[in-house]
Structure 1
């Protein structure tokens, strides 16, 4: 791993997880669009509950666990290959698999501009969370900081999607991000000390919405 100053680490995280970083995150809602159309998420309060559930016991929690495992595996090709395969296998729907693999591949391509080497075992089909974990480790960026930035960016993307879907306005969206800050910090801390034994979810409705979105007739997002 390269040695990286605290300022460099912060700047890299800000760049990699910025909405402007070319991974196409704006095109995906992770099933949220179907949840809005089905009436499961119809207000700022319902959106907050949805996001907290994903963070505590859903896809965002699992993504954080996989990111941490990839981070710790960066110098062990066999272990890193195994977590890459596991992340792909855990995708609960075709759209979910497409989302994580396309974003992961785009992230690896764009992040290669930085001096830290991208592990050779990672390719275009790498899950987004695994790609971020491995690249952060290769660039000497701290795990706790990476997890916090990753979860915050994921939540921010979903809030942005909800704004475009008319669930809430921008001011309420900013307020929601401030309200959910402690949950993000708590879950990042938990993930930093997690293992693959901590994988698991209890978000049946969210999983169903991801599947339902595949056949949704009119939609703004790819997932």
Structure 2
């Protein structure tokens, strides 16, 4: 990659990107409340499983297909992928998360030159999901699709690790070990996502959906999902 492409991807992966990713645990908090995750080893195992069973098979695959669609200005394909992502959110809080992060990323893009006003307006009119907004931001970097997916997955891993640190709770050293374990699995997860198409891409994670529904009425919580 060119230096600018690399730096743009690093920017998109940064926890400082103002899209609100830090406020979501993506059901990890509910798993902790239910006693399914109670220590470092269980948190690490949960997140690695979520990477392979959920993120790789759904969002990463959608991003992989959306980036070339944005580069080709194939708005029909973009609309199809955005609708698919929204339909896969099986609880109101997971739907709200992807819409809020999508809107926030579009607002960020409005203050940069990496997407045109027409592109932003196209996605905003569809109730932008975060994966499709990310694909728009990443498409203009000129970086290879695989590198864009590695960045997406690493940004997710950092947010989820911080969620584990805060809610299990765990120390920073434990968090770094969890992040190391997830990072080691990301390349394989990305390669799997790249191999999927419309017939094999899926979003079947019933326990996540059940726990998310429980989290919506959880008595005490730190996170929005």
TM-score, normalised to structure 2, is 0.91
- Which whole-Å deviations, capped at 9, do the CAs of 1:19-69 have from their partners, x for residues lacking one? 111101111111111111111111111111111111111145311011112
CA distance in 1, matches of 2:99, 2:140: 20
SS of the residue 1:72 aligns to: helix
- Identify which range, 212-221 or 161-170, moves more after superposition: 161-170
Superposed CA RMSD in Å reads 1.7
Q: Does the CA-based 8 Å contact 2:99-2:128 persist in structure 1?
A: yes
Alignment correspondent of 2:103: 105
2:54 equivalent among 52, 55, 58: 58
2:19 equivalent among 23, 26, 29: 23
- Which whole-Å deviations, capped at 9, do the CAs of 1:132-165 have from their partners, x for residues lacking one? 1122113323211110011111111111011111
CA distance in 1, matches of 2:169, 2:29: 10
Residue 115 of structure 1 and its aligned partner are, at CA, apart by 2.2
Q: Does the CA-based 8 Å contact 2:32-2:168 persist in structure 1?
A: no
Q: Which runs of 4+ in 1 moved over 3 A?
A: none
TM-score, normalised to structure 1, is 0.91
- Identify which range, 98-107 or 179-188, moves more after superposition: 179-188
Alignment correspondent of 1:12: 8
Alignment correspondent of 1:221: 223
Alignment correspondent of 1:181: 183
1:83-94 equivalences under 5 Å are 83-94=81-92
CA distance in 2, matches of 1:50, 1:60: 14
Residue 175 of structure 1 and its aligned partner are, at CA, apart by 1.2
SS of the residue 1:197 aligns to: coil
Q: Does the CA-based 8 Å contact 1:41-1:167 persist in structure 2?
A: no
CA distance in 2, matches of 1:54, 1:182: 14
Residue 112 of structure 1 and its aligned partner are, at CA, apart by 3.1
Aligned residues: 219
Q: Does the CA-based 8 Å contact 1:9-1:142 persist in structure 2?
A: no
Residue 168 of structure 1 and its aligned partner are, at CA, apart by 2.0
CA distance in 1, matches of 2:151, 2:195: 16
Q: Does the CA-based 8 Å contact 1:73-1:134 persist in structure 2?
A: no
Q: Does the CA-based 8 Å contact 2:21-2:101 persist in structure 1?
A: yes
Q: Does the CA-based 8 Å contact 2:39-2:168 persist in structure 1?
A: no
Unaligned runs of 5+ in 2: none
